[in-house]
């Protein structure tokens, strides 16, 4: 079972506008939706849609936290969140004039003692794998992630900012940076795919058994014990990139949890992410026929 931890969840508001946004003008959306969001929550949603066993945990508070609880209850998969006093954050994505604008809150102030409660919640489920994803709310530092990773015998994956990756002290099963996070975590140049591969190898030396790096329209790579494999991206119409990295990570984790090879896991990740970027918001797409998409992903060793 794969359990996800989201320290700083969010209600994701996605608004679509017919025209470009103009400073000082009132812009009225032609469409708007609200989704339960946060990296770990997104991954659990996608895992559930892929028929993988998952539990979503993390910190929730206020009316926005209630919205997330209710939304995930409607989805019907298991959750075990720890209550906090301040409201969970609200993040907004505006799609206008062919551009994408992201406005994110920092999140509520959290006392470090809440990590002990969260570790207890994780232990109670006895997961095989734990994913810690997303930003840390004010009041917590990277030690909070190390504490979760060291609280049990599970294999821990992380999808966090590059500065946080560089500050972690524990031993981790997997890290999932994007290109910018890979550069921030290693200080390396990442202009070319070859440079990204070298940076991923360097990050592995920092305590990660595998590094999965998403490279946008160029594709993705996975650096593991057997070397580096690169996967080409599919040529599709991208509607919204929100959740794309979470979807790729979901596909990789689901395949690794089934005992598949690194190459098969990366192909699965690219296939899942491709489905997600073709729709707006973080709602879960239809994954029917995913095996055919996965088989069509082109990979090569670097």
Q: How far apart are CA 187 and CA 38, in angstroms?
A: 26
Nearest to 250 by CA among 224, 232, 268: 268
Neighbours of 238 (CB within 10 A): 15
Helix (H, G, I), strand (E, B) or coil at 98: coil
- Compute the radius of gyration of the chain from its Cα atoms: 18
Can you say whether the dihedral through the CA atoms of 242, 148, 122, 255 is positive or negative?
A: positive
| Cα gap 276→167, rounded to integer Å | 30
- Report CA-CA distances (Å) from 232 to 8, 36, 182, 254: 32, 30, 18, 20
| Cβ(270)–Cβ(219) below 8 Å | yes
| Residues pairing with 229 in the sheet | 222, 301
Which is the catalytic residue, given 198, 246, 257, 262?
A: 246
Runs of H (alpha helix) within the chain: 39-49, 62-75, 114-123, 143-149, 162-167, 179-186, 193-204, 244-257, 262-276, 290-296
Assign 80 to helix, strand or coil: strand
Q: Tell me whether residue 246 is one of the annotated catalytic residues.
A: yes
Q: Which residues are catalytic?
A: 246
């Amino acid at each position: 079972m794969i359990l996800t931890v989201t320290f700083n969840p969010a209600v994701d508001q996605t608004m679509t506008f017919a025209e470009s946004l103009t400073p000082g003008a009132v812009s009225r959306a032609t469409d708007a939706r609200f989704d339960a969001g946060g990296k770990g929550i997104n991954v659990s949603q996608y895992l559930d849609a892929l028929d993988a066993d998952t539990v979503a945990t993390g910190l929730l508070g206020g009316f926005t936290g209630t919205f997330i609880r209710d939304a995930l209850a409607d989805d019907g998969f298991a959750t075990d969140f720890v209550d906090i006093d301040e409201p969970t954050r609200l993040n907004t994505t505006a799609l206008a004039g062919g551009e994408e604008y992201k406005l994110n809150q920092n999140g509520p102030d959290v006392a470090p003692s809440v990590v002990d409660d969260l570790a207890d919640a994780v232990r109670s489920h006895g997961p095989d794998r734990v994913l810690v994803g997303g930003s840390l709310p004010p009041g917590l530092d990277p030690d909070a992630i190390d504490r979760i990773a060291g609280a049990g015998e599970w294999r821990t994956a992380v999808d966090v900012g590059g500065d946080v990756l560089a500050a972690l002290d524990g031993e981790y099963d997997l890290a999932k940076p994007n290109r910018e996070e890979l550069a921030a975590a290693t200080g390396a140049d990442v202009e070319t795919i070859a440079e990204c591969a070298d940076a991923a190898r360097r990050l592995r030396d920092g305590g990660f058994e595998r590094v999965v790096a998403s490279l946008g329209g160029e594709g993705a790579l996975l650096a593991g014990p057997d070397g580096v494999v690169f996967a080409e991206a599919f040529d599709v119409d991208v509607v919204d990139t929100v959740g794309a990295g979470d979807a790729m990570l979901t596909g990789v984790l689901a395949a690794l949890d089934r005992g598949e090879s690194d190459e098969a896991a990366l192909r699965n990740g690219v296939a899942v992410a491709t489905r997600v970027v073709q729709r707006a918001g973080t709602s879960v797409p239809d994954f029917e026929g995913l095996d055919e998409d996965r088989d069509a992903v082109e990979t090569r060793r670097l």
